[in-house]
Amino acid sequence: MPYFDDLQVGQRGELGSFTFTAELIKAFASQFDPQPFHLDEDEGRKSLFGGLAASGWHVGAVGMKLLVAKRRRETEAAEAKGISDPPAGPSPGFRELKWLKPVLAGDTLTYSSEIVSLRESASKPEWGIMQARTTATNQRGELVYSFIGIAFMPRRI
């Protein structure tokens, strides 16, 4: 978790990979998105998805899970060097979320993110505002998911 002042537009990072098993797809869907094509293989095959498909909200939440795990690894690496990382800022939202292809049972997604804009906050001088595009590709290299997240990042002050 670097400071805003250390970031550059175009910086890319891999967040990690995750396999959407049938069991995990059904467990998420039964709690938050219990539509037939997210819960049952036969219903999935009959749907436009063509198979048991993960809820789009599941695909999004897993991206958050991988981002938080990456930040934790970075914080621990910094602490091992005696450096104290600044705390993460909140996110006011995001833009242009796209579910481009179905995520079917057994698919493994690899998530990465790239900084697309950086600007100072007019009202909060201790924070900068970062926009970063997070994408996920499946095991065939197909882009399946994309959004532009917005986050407050701490400044060196």
Using the contact rule CB under 8 A, the part of the chain among 2-10, 83-91, 111-119, 134-142 near a second copy is: 83-91
Determine the interface stretch with a second copy among 3-11, 86-94, 113-121, 128-136 (rule: CB under 8 A): 86-94
Query: For a second copy, which is the closer residue by CB, 89 or 128?
Result: 89
Instruction: Supply the minimum distance, in Å, between the C-beta of residue 31 and a second copy.
Output: 7
Burial class from Cβ neighbours inside 10 Å (0-12, 13-18, 19+) for residue 44 reads: buried
Choice from 96, 123, 141, 157 touching a second copy (CB under 8 A): 96
> Structure tokens of 41?
């293989």
3-state secondary structure string, 74-89?
A: HHHHHHHCCCCCCCCC
Angle at 111 (CA atoms; ends 131, 106), nearest 5 degrees? 150
The secondary structure element, H or E, covering residue 114 is strand 108-120
100 binds a second copy (CB under 8 A): yes
Q: Look up tokens 């250390």; give the residue.
A: 6
Query: Restricting to residues 115-144, which ones interact with a second copy according to CB under 8 A?
Result: none
Q: Does 90 bind a second copy (CB under 8 A)?
A: yes
Contact 69, 16 (CB under 8 A): yes
Determine which residue in the list 22, 56, 70, 112 makes contact with a second copy, applying CB under 8 A.
56
| Site residues (vs a second copy, CB under 8 A) | 31-35, 47-49, 55-57, 60-62, 64-65, 68, 72, 87-100, 102, 147
